[in-house]
A and B are shown apart, each in its own frame.
Chain A
Amino acid sequence: MSILLSVENLSIAFGGLKAVDDLTFEMNHGEIYGIIGPNGAGKTTAFNCITQFYKPNAGKILFDSKKNGVMDLVGLKPHQVIGHGLVRTFQNVELISSLSVIDNLLVGAHIAFKSTLPEQIFRLPRARREEKQLRERAMEVLEMLDLTHIAHMPATMQPYGYQKKLELGRTLMMSPKLIILDEPAAGLNEVETEGLINIVQSVAKDLNCGILLIEHDMNFVSKLCNRICAISFGKRLAIGTPDEIKAHPDVREAYLGKSDEGGDVDG
């Protein structure tokens, strides 16, 4: 097992508020890794720092890039990150409303299009070839997600569960090494959540792709993740297996309050 992502002493502050404070963790290739924490703990902010949507004030984000081997992602532009094999989803599903399901997947393959604008407009051989190959790839992804029947329908008119799957599917278009999922199970019912667990597991296993996810649903995280990092107020509380985390006193305190304040789980 070699290290895929290593976050070292990551910190970012907005004004006086330290949203992420000296956060350190690392995950391996093909590992499913969870980040949990109460609301406002800084989970999404940490994700935004890793994917360079925010510029961290301090710290390193070492990533085993597709192109350059191990490198620090800090300083890249947000749109450059995907090229190194790191792609993300969003807490509020961000599909493109005017495009069909399959076209939304093709947006996920944007950087695979090497043809120039004139080549695309005049449908020259290279542009046609790319379009054909990537359309086939998109159909494969839809098949894997069991969504081929909606390929040509408007994406944002689909049920929420489909949209969530679709957003995950869009990340698969570029065969990434690490997928970051921001609350993938939020708003899904039990059946859909079970289906999602299966998909995420098979992506990690079959594609040897690391999955880093934020989730509130402890049951979901426990079933899926190899390891979990619990954070509160931007600081790391504990790292361990799901069972270790559940039993950890600091984590229990952050989630449930101190037992002598009457917030005990058994009380």
Chain B
Amino acid sequence: MNKVFGTIKKTQPYLGFLILGGILSLAPALVANTQWFLFAWLTIFAGFVVYSIASLGMNILMGYGGLASLGTAGFMGLGAYLTMVLTVDLGLSFFPVLILTILATTVLGILVGLISLRVEGFFLAIATLVIAEMLRQVFQQMPLLGGHAGRTMPAFPTISIFGIAEWTLNRNQTYIMLVIFLVIAMFVTQLLFKSATGRALSAMRGSESAAAAMGISIFRGRLLAFALASGFAGAAGSLFMFFMPFTNPNHWNLVLSLFIFAVVVIGGVRSVAGTVLGAFIVFAVPQLFIARLPIIGDISGMDFVFTGVLIIVVVLFYPAGLVYMPISIKNGITKLINKRKKGGETA
């Protein structure tokens, strides 16, 4: 029986998350001690870490809630701009800024969630796209935010503990802090997926009427999915700002939202590890490897071609995402061996 249908294993991936965090934290040491790990790569890695966090939120919304959004970039941008204003103009320190930013983006997410109660599918995607574009226009037009040119804030966060102790992180420390936040986000997402609320979101996506019959409020579920997704995006935008520390309106455009959408599709719907894998492929591989290949790397826009071809290949062969590739390869090999065995017996 087990062989025919397979079992859903009780996976405990939490140790894996910690190991991944550990490996990613090695990057600054590699910059300092090796020739091949370039200084600029740390920025690429920081970007990948930040986009992973936003993509995890997207996976909650899309993979679990079954809701489409093309507004992730808008929420990330809002997080980044809020972080700048709160830090530079109001002089708040790291934790208050981060918490206020997450709160604000979550509240906006809930408002967008209200729209999702009335429209679905393509229409919802367009509604979220319009909201993100609206936000981008605001970033462009408000003088406080620096207009088209954008605005810079002092690099790297100052952490203050009730005003008693205060220290400013350097580039490496800030990077490691981002990794810590990624690991936290992975834990939260995984624990959510395995909780009663995660099951309720699954039920809502699987069958709305069955979910309602079991006492699950679609209203609450949708608002919750949007609140979490935009909270994650806001946190990602805020952390981005603390590392980079420059923002302009054009960075937070539709292409970025689509890339985050692609991360979930490529990596693995409803998989935390898959999301991070997808983010690495979409946001790090093109710049780290494709750009360094001879000839191909010199052609500008080749990274976009890479991502495009990859999405098509994944959708064709691994529609659930690359993270499920090992399973299908294993199944393929077992099939092949069985075939050989059978062939050998009959011959």
Question: At the interface with chain B, which of A26-34, A73-81, A188-196, A207-215?
Answer: A73-81
Bound-complex Cα distance A121 to B198 (A): 10
Report the minimal beta-carbon distance from A195 to chain B, rounded to whole angstroms. 18
Q: How large is the interface on A (under 10, 10 to 19, 20 to 34, 35 or more residues)?
A: 35 or more
Interface residues of B in 1-37 (CB under 8 A from A): 1-2, 5-10
Residues of A within 8 A of B207 (CB): 90, 94-96
Q: Which residues of B contact A83 (CB under 8 A)?
A: 215
Counting residue pairs across A and B whose Cβ atoms lie within 8 Å, the total is 118
- Residues of chain B lying within 8 A (CB to CB) of residue A81: 213, 215
Taking a contact as CB atoms under 8 Å apart, the answer to whether A94 and B209 are in contact is yes
B203 sits at the interface (CB 8 A): yes
With the chains together, A174 CA to B216 CA distance in Å? 13
Listed stretches B72-80, B154-162, B187-195, B272-280; interface member? B187-195
Q: Which of A12-20, A55-63, A100-108 contacts B (4 or more CB under 8 A)?
A: A100-108
Residue pair B202, A99 in contact (C-beta under 8 Å): yes
Q: Is the CB of A97 within 8 A of B206?
A: yes
Stretch at the interface among A64-72, A111-119, A236-244: A111-119
**Interface extent on B, as a size class?**
20 to 34
**Contact B199–A158 (Cβ < 8 Å):** no
The answer to whether A122 touches B199 (Cβ under 8 A) is: no
B310 at the interface (CB under 8 A from A): no
Q: A106-B196, A131-B196 known; A100 and B212 CB under 8 Å? A: no
Contacts of A99 in B (CB 8 A): 199, 202-203, 206
Which residues in B have their C-beta under 8 angstroms from that of A51? 213
Does B8 contact A100, Cβ atoms closer than 8 Å? Answer: yes
**Nearest neighbor of A100 in chain B, beta-carbon distance:** B8
- A205 interface residue, CB < 8 Å from B? no
Q: Determine which of A80, A88, A94, A120 lies in contact with B196 in the assembled complex, contact meaning CB atoms within 8 Å.
A: A120
Alpha-carbon gap, A53 to B209, bound state (A): 8
Known: A110-B216, A117-B224, A157-B5. A152 touches B10 (CB 8 A): yes
Listed by A's residue number, 22 A-B pairs whose Cβ atoms lie within 8 Å are: A51-B213, A77-B217, A78-B209, A78-B212, A79-B211, A79-B214, A83-B215, A87-B214, A90-B207, A94-B207, A96-B199, A96-B206, A96-B210, A107-B202, A108-B214, A111-B214, A113-B196, A120-B192, A120-B195, A149-B1, A152-B7, A152-B10
Binding site for B on A (CB under 8 A): 51, 53, 77-83, 87-88, 90, 94-100, 103, 106-108, 110-111, 113, 115, 117, 120-123, 127, 130-131, 149-150, 152-154, 157-158, 170, 174
Beyond contacts A82-B213, A90-B209, A94-B210: 8 other A-B pairs, Cβ-Cβ < 8 A, are A79-B214, A107-B203, A120-B191, A120-B192, A120-B195, A121-B192, A127-B195, A157-B6
